[in-house]
Chain A
Amino acid sequence: MEKEQYQQLEQNATPKPPYFKNVAKAFLVGGLICTIGQAVSLFYIIFFDFTEATAGNPTVATMVFFAMILTGFGLYKKIGQFAGAGSAVPVTGFGNAVVSAAIEHRSEGLVLGVGGNLFKLAGSVVLFGVVSAFFVALIKFILVTIGVVSW
């Protein structure tokens, strides 16, 4: 049997992912995590000196803490299997990526294992975040100096 013929056979045999069900699950869990995030930021606004604008930072830190606990007990993996992007896109997903890599490579020692692999999964997020921020800010700076746009 030829390669193309086989690839055709494979296309028909492989089931398509359940798009609607997956998106619905991601929407629900993602929304739930953001609602929890809103509750956490409200908590910081009321009990600490954070305004709506500055409450984001402690909220993100707290969500990452929750992610560590859930990851450590192996629960985040189950949420991830159910929710997919619903658990990966929020900052808890970023936390899970870092914490799971750290836990995983603890057996190789703190320096080479944890240190060397901490950002194995989440490093790309930091890289593309910083690089895209740099170019966007650069473009905006140029546009402003030309006078096309104002700050």
Chain B
Amino acid sequence: MVIVFQSKPSLIAGGVVAGPLEKRSIFSQYFDANYDDERWQMKTNEQGHRKMVEEACEFAMKKAGVKKTDIDYFMGGDLINQMTPTNFAARDLDIPFIGLFSACATSISSIIVASLLTEVGASNFALAGASSQHNAVERQFRYPINYGSQKPQTAQWTVTAAGYALIGKHQEEYPSIEAATVGKSVDYGMDDPFHMGAAMAPAAFQTIQSHLEQRNQKIYHYDLILTGDLGQLGLKLLKGMFVESGIKSEELTPLRDAGAEFYGQDETFQSGASGAGCSAAVFLSYVIQQMRAGTFKRVLLVATGALLSPLTFQQGETIPCTAHAIEITMK
């Protein structure tokens, strides 16, 4: 089940672009750019979403000193129907493209595929990541933006951000990917689209547990186990599951959640942030920069995604979720 990369592909650079509201995030100093207009001066939200993806890729390439023509593969996805923003960004980037959908776990699933291509030698440089735009996602999954509905405390705020990593052959001075675990689709009977954290926590638990087992490691081997967007409640549930499985709660200190911390303790965002952009932005900016600065040696990045659609909710289905993990180390 766990994939071990002998050649240890490296995360050479991470390009992260976020929207105006994300200036309020505690990670915003690590982002490459915060745009003032939520639609990137474009006519529609979806076009703004596409422009954001392109800019994130440009930042990643610029930071790595690589041109568009040198990139072998472009991998990514988002939450919009048929991932059109990423597809249209691929059209303009003009790079061989594979679209991936694992909801908010797309950031890690695309990095896993890119690493595999690098491992087998098919790719020298690959762009992999994910993105989400608040307006475009909300109007598709929930309600029109200006609709006056009341969000419960369990709700999370979809982040407007795009994070793309440039993955290449192993290089000592960059964080490198040692192993990865592809998560299953886990459904514990949660059906409330306004309480995604509860739906995704079991998937994160299963992926982390199987990764640790297969790598026969323990939680304390890691400086940081960062889940994608469980939110404050989801993280509480994840910790509860670990305590239930016999691990003492003080051993869970490395366990943190990007969504829960994204907007700090700001009441207006209820249970925290969510969206493919949340995990992508935090993983590929904060985590990479902290690892290169030496704060973290061994990190497990676990992006969590809820695989529902507005239709399945209306048809009374519960929400299956998935979580993909990559283990990154830095010398």
Contacts and interface: CB of A to CB of B under 8 A. Distances in A.
A135 B85 CA distance: 47
Interface in A75-126: 76-77, 79-81, 83-85, 87-88, 93, 96-97, 99-101, 103-105, 107, 120-121
Interface of A: 1, 3, 5-7, 9-10, 13-15, 17, 22, 71-72, 74, 76-77, 79-81, 83-85, 87-88, 93, 96-97, 99-101, 103-105, 107, 120-121
B148 A77 contact: yes
Contacts of A72: 146
Contact of B147 (A1, A9, A13, A96): A96
Given A1-B202, A1-B244, A14-B154, A7 B147 contact: no
Given A10-B198, A14-B195, A77 B45 contact: no
Contacts of B146: 71-72, 74, 76-77, 96, 99-100, 103-104
A29 to B, nearest CB: 11
B150 A84 contact: yes
A13 B233 contact: yes
A116 to B, nearest CB: 13
19 contacts: A1-B244, A6-B241, A7-B189, A9-B237, A13-B236, A79-B148, A81-B151, A83-B150, A88-B148, A96-B147, A99-B146, A100-B144, A100-B146, A101-B144, A103-B144, A103-B145, A105-B144, A121-B143, A121-B147
Nearest to A11: B198
Given A1-B244, A7-B189, A107-B44, A100 B145 contact: yes
B295 interface: no
Interface of B: 43-46, 139, 143-154, 188-190, 195, 198, 202, 205, 233, 236-237, 240-241, 244-245
Contacts of B153: 15, 17
A3 B149 contact: no
B237 A77 contact: no
A15 B233 CA distance: 9
Q: Binding site of A, secondary structure by majority: helix, strand, loop or mixed? A: helix
A6 B144 contact: no
Nearest to A107: B44
Given A1-B202, A3-B188, A3-B189, A100 B240 contact: no
Nearest to B39: A107
A9 B240 contact: yes
B6 to A, nearest CB: 34
B206 to A, nearest CB: 9
Contacts of A107: 43-46
A71 B149 CA distance: 12
Contact of A1 (B144, B145, B205): B205
B224 to A, nearest CB: 23
Contacts of B151: 81
A88 B151 CA distance: 13
Given A71-B146, A87-B148, 20 more contacts: A1-B244, A3-B188, A5-B244, A9-B240, A9-B244, A10-B198, A13-B236, A14-B195, A14-B198, A17-B152, A71-B147, A76-B148, A77-B147, A80-B148, A88-B149, A96-B146, A100-B143, A100-B145, A107-B44, A121-B143
A142 to B, nearest CB: 35
A79 B149 CA distance: 9
Nearest to B245: A1
Contacts of B205: 1
